[in-house]
Amino acid sequence: MTSGAAEVGYSVLFAVISVLATVVVVVDDREATEKLRDQPLIGVHFSSPGCADKFVANDSSSGGFGLNSWIATLSWVGLFCTAVLIVAVPRRSPGCVRCINVGTPDMKRRLMNLVERGRMDVVHRVMLLLSAYMLFVTAGVQLSYVPLLGSGNQFNVVCLADATCSAAVQAAHEGSGSSTVCCESFGLECARPLLFWAAIVGICIGPLIPLPCVLWRISSLMKAAGEADELLAKPTAGA
């Protein structure tokens, strides 16, 4: 059995990427919040990139941090803590391994057999691999937030700085105009649709891409451990 250095390396890489992506969202949100501090209304729901259909009064009492910052930060904390717990909890309470989804019911049964046989070195390796996968998901989600959450800030900054677009937002909020306001209607560019939809696809499909390889690797680790135990259990020649 190898030591799991590759899994640790990938975990660190994905953790750094997720942190950097979260910082980008928070910084962008703070800058946008500061620019919009004097605006009475902001868009909060977007029917498509560059189009908002719900507007609320602008609350600038959050000290420069808007809703996007909280979404990105809480998402990162939840996913990162899950990845850490996957590694940490089985080391303190091996029985908790049965609560962790490792693929098929047969794989979970084989993993529990390893726990019962005291092969915690293999179990910890599997948990490290699952944690690395969870950090990959974390990095993917946080990277997707950059264009997804940033598009709302871009709409507000660009549209509300234009007098005509801002007037349409006020009318939509009061119910005296169209309920949907789009930047392109006023010749403004406040969205990158291709990047927005790519992020939607990425956040939905991205976690599934490495999953077959992860499950194959887990199965291989458990199979190798079972074969090694069988060899050790066989009587030596001439005994």
Q: What is the structure's pLDDT at 61?
A: 52
66-79 pLDDT per residue, tens: 788 999 999 999 99
Which pLDDT tens digit goes with each residue over 79-89?
Answer: 999 999 999 98
Q: How far apart are CA 166 and CA 173, in angstroms?
A: 11
Asked if residue 137 lies in contact with residue 16, where contact means CB atoms within 8 angstroms, the answer is no
Q: Does the structure show a pLDDT above 80 at 181?
A: yes
Residue 236 lies in a domain: no
The pLDDT, as a whole number, for residue 233 is 62
Query: Is the confidence at residue 47, as pLDDT, over 60?
Result: yes
Percent with pLDDT over 90 in the chain: 46
Residue 204 counted as domain residue: yes
Residue 232 lies in a domain: no
Kindly tell me if the per-residue pLDDT of 182 is higher than 50.
yes
Q: Is residue 230 part of a domain?
A: no
This prediction has a pTM of 0.85
Residue 234 counted as domain residue: no
Residue 221 placed within a domain: yes
- Span 209-219, mean pLDDT? 90
64-to-30, 60, 82, 168, 195 alpha-carbon distances in Å: 5, 7, 29, 26, 26
So what's the pLDDT on residue 64? 55
- Domain total in the chain: 1
Backbone angles phi, psi at 11, to 5 degrees: -60, -45
237 part of a folded domain: no
Q: How many CB atoms lie within 10 A of CB 34?
A: 12
Give me the domain span that covers residue 189: 5-225
pLDDT exceeds 70 at position 112: yes
Q: Is residue 168 part of a domain?
A: yes
Selected residue with higher pLDDT from 126 and 77: 77
